[in-house]
């Protein structure tokens, strides 16, 4: 049939449209996940949809981001999410149970299932053969309510893996090699499907490192076949009954092909301040390092931390280095404690953090001013660590451990023979921190703290758009720029009015004041505007401040969808050089907006400079209806009978 694995899963879940590249389709979602940074808003939106119980086969709410409780706000959000989950039929993973993507891989991910998560690293589950996609919370809420998830059919890229990794070369180096070749926007509009003999040499946790960081390519998702390696992992988790074999047809067709010879790779790092600023570690070793952080949903598995434990065993962390380690889940932490590895890590001088996102999301462990921090995380955007002047380097756990011992960025090959670490025959299974939903949700009372505010909604679109350019930004503006994610601000995720006071302040500290003074306006951006996290707060806060449109050279996929979901126009330049003909404070004007949107292109008048600029906005018929209504929630409230049967 010439079907690749991606096409097979999409075809099995197709409920609307045709499976043709570039066409919008609706697919049925089997599973959803949320985390507490995005979950509160998602569940407020779910409540507004007026259903009694989620329509998905399995939905899980995780607490893993906002676990630093310096005030009541985070704990209140946890109570809210927990009671909503109990009422609406959602499993609730308590604080301390682990990072959503790690726990999901261990306990919930199923080959061939569709998974939609309100976190950009949801594609981690592609390691087990799930078609897992990150999205904004409103899309996830709609999926829980039974609506299809709409997506433009991406190109499918065949990444053929040949050979076998050399000692001290890891799965992290595979994805860093792809980032080196393609860059942070090289995966936009694409799904990466891994094939080849090299796949059989990678464990599920190693595959998860690769699918996790596929998000940094801008990819829609990444996926591995479900094979005997997958079966062994699921059997070790006591879930072999959920396994099934999944692979592409022998003569499967792909839109593009990339070949990586694993035998030729070397240990690599991503230098500040982008995941695609990749160099072999041997070229940059010797740099003094102040902090090493090991963990995150990318590299906190049992196998990762066992190897770190073996490297550090009977040794001591360099006196100038602060080493912090966050196991990815309670399962991992428990197994490390029982086999003595945790004691080895502590004896070496590591500080053990709770099983949560922690420093990766800016929740604690901010480096000192001007410090260099080597982290096994997935993003090193400037300031994301909590210290604007710090330099963050992304690396494998092996490089991180070697660096912690030497006090300088180190090549792990200089340590000698690499310790052999194997996947356990059986994992320790104890799901006592996963709370099942109530059988009778009607009896559950939802608890809301005073920090939880209503979801802002846009008004119906008018036919004329006029506004001042409040900000002109450059390329690769991330969601961390638009809506910073720090220990100070994360507790405000359920309070958009308070959070909006910090919108785009890393780019222009006066932006919120300017937006309120002008009573809203327009943002102009460069290439790949909105890359990074799935956080819809990067659309909600601008909406609250009155932003009507964002005009950019190009958009990151999730952020563009979030803008549409909340009624903000995502416009692109017909000619990118016209970006140069707009300045801050210019007055922009469009008339006949609705007709122009139907046609997909129209002219923008720059009144200040007396210029006419052609712009475009390629929307599907469904997206047109959504944006005319002022966003997806307004559209869902207006329409009835659109709920798909689960």
Low-confidence ranges of the chain (pLDDT < 70): 1, 640-646
CA dihedral 341, 342, 344, 348 (to 10 degrees): 140
Kindly report the backbone phi and psi dihedral angles of residue 375, in degrees, each rounded to the nearest multiple of 5, phi listed first: -130, 145
Q: What is the pLDDT of residue 644?
A: 38
Distance CA 452, CA 465 (A): 32
CA distances from residue 309 to 167, 256, 352, 475 in whole angstroms, order as listed: 17, 40, 12, 40
Distance CA(474)–CA(462), nearest Å, equals: 29
User: Across the strands, what pairs with 222?
Assistant: 192
CB 151 within 8 Å of CB 143: no
User: Looking at the DSSP assignment, which residues form a beta bridge with residue 434?
Assistant: 93
- Report d(CA 613, CA 635) in Å as an integer: 30
SS3 142: helix
- Do the domains at 268-415 and 464-638 have one common CATH topology? no
Alpha carbon distance 630, 626 (integer Å):
6
Residue 137: count of CB within 10 angstroms of its CB: 31
- End-to-end alpha-carbon separation of the chain, Å? 28
Alpha-carbon distance 593 to 646, whole Å?
37
Q: Could you tell me where the DSSP H helices lie in 472-592?
A: 479-482, 496-499, 511-517, 537-544, 557-565
Query: What whole-number distance in Å separates Cα of residue 599 and Cα of residue 325?
Result: 53
**428 contact partners, CB below 8 Å, separation of at least 6:** 331, 334, 335, 338
- 70: exposed, middle or buried (Cβ count in 10 Å: 0-12, 13-18, 19+): exposed
| Residue 316: half-sphere exposure toward Cβ, Cα within 13 Å | 3
Cα 164 to Cα 184: distance, rounded to the nearest angstrom: 26
Q: Which residues contact 374 (CB under 8 A, 6 or more apart)?
A: 269, 289, 291, 292, 293, 392, 393, 395, 399, 400, 403, 404, 409
Instruction: Write the burial class of residue 519 (CB in 10 Å: 0-12 exposed, 13-18 middle, 19+ buried).
Output: exposed
Domain ranges of the chain: 268-415, 464-638
Residue 31: what are its φ and ψ, rounded to 5°?
-135, 150
Nearest CA to 297 out of 119, 79, 124 is that of: 124
> What is the full DSSP assignment across 393-458?
EE--HHHHHHHHHHSB---GGGG-SPPP----SS-----TTEEPPPS-GGGPPPP--TT--PPP-P
d(CA 230, CA 205): 10
Give 546: exposed, middle or buried? Use CB within 10 Å, 0-12, 13-18, 19+: middle
Contacts of 330 by beta carbon, 8 Å cutoff, 6+ apart: 96, 97, 98, 355, 430, 433
Contact in structure between 579 and 524 (CB atoms under 8 Å) = yes
Inter-residue contact 153 to 19 (CB < 8 Å): yes
Backbone angles phi, psi at 292, to 5 degrees: -130, 130
Question: Domain 268-415 is classified in which CATH homologous superfamily?
Answer: Aconitase, domain 3 (3.30.499.10)
Residues 149, 155: Cα–Cα separation, whole Å: 18
Contact, 425 vs 302, CB < 8 A?
no
Residue 170: predicted pLDDT? 98
Alpha helices in 527-645 (DSSP H): 537-544, 557-565, 593-599, 621-628, 632-638
Is 590 within 8 Å of 596 (Cβ atoms)? yes
Q: What is the 3 state secondary structure string of 351-382?
A: EECCCCCHHHHCCCCCCCCCCEEEECCCCCCC
Beta-bridge mates of residue 591: 464
Q: 301 forms bridges with which residues in the sheet?
A: none
What is the fold of 464-638?
Aconitase; domain 4 (3.20.19)
Listed residue (280, 288, 333, 329) closest to 309, CA to CA = 333
CB 112 within 8 A of CB 246: yes
Three-state secondary-structure class, residue 119: coil
Which residues contact residue 310 at a Cβ distance below 8 angstroms, ignoring those fewer than 6 apart?
341, 419, 421
Helix (H, G, I), strand (E, B), or coil: what is residue 600? coil
């Amino acid at each position: 049939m010439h079907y690749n694995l991606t096409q097979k899963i999409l075809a099995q879940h197709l409920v609307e449209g045709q499976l043709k590249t570039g066409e919008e389709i609706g697919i049925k979602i089997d599973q959803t996940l949320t985390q507490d940074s995005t979950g509160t808003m998602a569940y407020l939106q779910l409540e507004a949809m007026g259903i009694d119980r989620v329509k998905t086969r399995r939905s899980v709410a995780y607490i893993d981001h906002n676990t630093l409780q310096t005030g009541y706000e985070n704990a209140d959000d946890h109570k809210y999410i927990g009671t909503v989950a109990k009422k609406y039929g959602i499993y609730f993973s308590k604080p301390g149970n682990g990072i959503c993507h790690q726990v999901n891989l261990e306990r919930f991910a199923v080959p061939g299932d569709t998974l939609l998560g309100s976190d950009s690293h949801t594609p981690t589950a592609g390691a087990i053969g799930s078609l897992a996609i990150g999205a904004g919370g409103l899309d996830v809420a709609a999926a829980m309510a039974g609506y299809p998830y709409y997506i433009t059919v991406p190109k499918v890229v065949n990444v053929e893996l040949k050979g076998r990794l050399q000692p001290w070369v890891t799965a992290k180096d595979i994805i860093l090699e792809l980032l080196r070749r393609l860059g942070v926007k090289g995966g936009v509009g694409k799904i990466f499907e891994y094939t080849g003999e090299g796949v059989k040499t990678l464990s599920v946790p190693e595959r998860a490192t690769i699918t996790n960081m596929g998000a940094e390519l801008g990819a829609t998702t990444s996926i591995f076949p479900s094979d005997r390696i997958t079966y062994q992992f699921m059997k070790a988790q006591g879930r072999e009954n959920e396994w099934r074999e999944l692979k592409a047809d022998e003569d499967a067709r792909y839109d593009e092909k990339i070949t990586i010879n694993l035998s030729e790779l070397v240990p690599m790092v991503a230098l500040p301040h982008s995941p695609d600023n990749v160099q072999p570690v041997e070229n940059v070793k010797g740099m003094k390092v102040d902090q090493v952080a090991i963990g995150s949903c990318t590299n906190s598995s049992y196998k990762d931390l066992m190897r770190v434990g073996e490297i550090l065993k009977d040794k001591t962390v360099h006196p100038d280095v602060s080493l912090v380690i966050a196991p990815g889940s309670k399962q991992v932490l428990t197994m490390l404690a029982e086999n003595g590895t945790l004691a080895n890590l502590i004896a070496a001088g590591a500080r053990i953090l709770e099983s949560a996102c922690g420093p990766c999301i800016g929740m604690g462990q901010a480096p000192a001013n001007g410090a260099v921090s080597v982290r096994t995380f997935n993003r090193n955007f400037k300031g994301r660590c909590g210290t604007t002047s710090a330099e963050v380097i992304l690396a494998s756990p092996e490089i991180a451990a070697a660096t912690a011992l030497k006090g300088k960025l180190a090549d792990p090959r200089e340590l000698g023979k690499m310790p052999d670490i194997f996947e356990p025959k059986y994992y320790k299974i104890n799901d006592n921190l996963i709370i099942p939903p109530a059988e009778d949700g009607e009896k559950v009372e939802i608890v809301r703290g005073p920090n939880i505010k209503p979801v802002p909604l846009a008004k119906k679109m008018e036919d004329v758009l006029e506004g001042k350019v409040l900000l002109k930004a450059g390329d690769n503006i991330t969601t961390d720029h638009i809506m910073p994610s720090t220990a100070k601000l994360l507790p405000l995720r359920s309070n958009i009015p308070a959070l909006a006071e910090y919108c785009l302040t890393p780019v222009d500290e006066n932006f919120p004041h300017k937006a309120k003074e002008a009573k809203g306006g327009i943002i102009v951006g460069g290439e790949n505007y909105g890359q990074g996290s799935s956080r819809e707060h990067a659309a909600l806060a601008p909406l609250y401040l009155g932003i009507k449109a964002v005009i950019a050279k190009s958009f990151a996929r999730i952020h563009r969808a979030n803008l549409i979901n909340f009624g903000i126009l995502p416009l692109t330049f017909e000619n990118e050089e016209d970006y140069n003909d707009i300045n801050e404070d210019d007055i922009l004007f469009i008339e006949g907006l609705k007709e122009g949107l139907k046609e997909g292109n129209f002219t923008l008048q720059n009144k200040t400079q007396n210029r006419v600029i052609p712009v475009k906005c390629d929307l599907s018929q469904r997206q047109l209806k959504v944006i005319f209504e002022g966003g997806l929630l307004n559209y869902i409230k207006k329409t009835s009978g659109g709920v798909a049967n689960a």
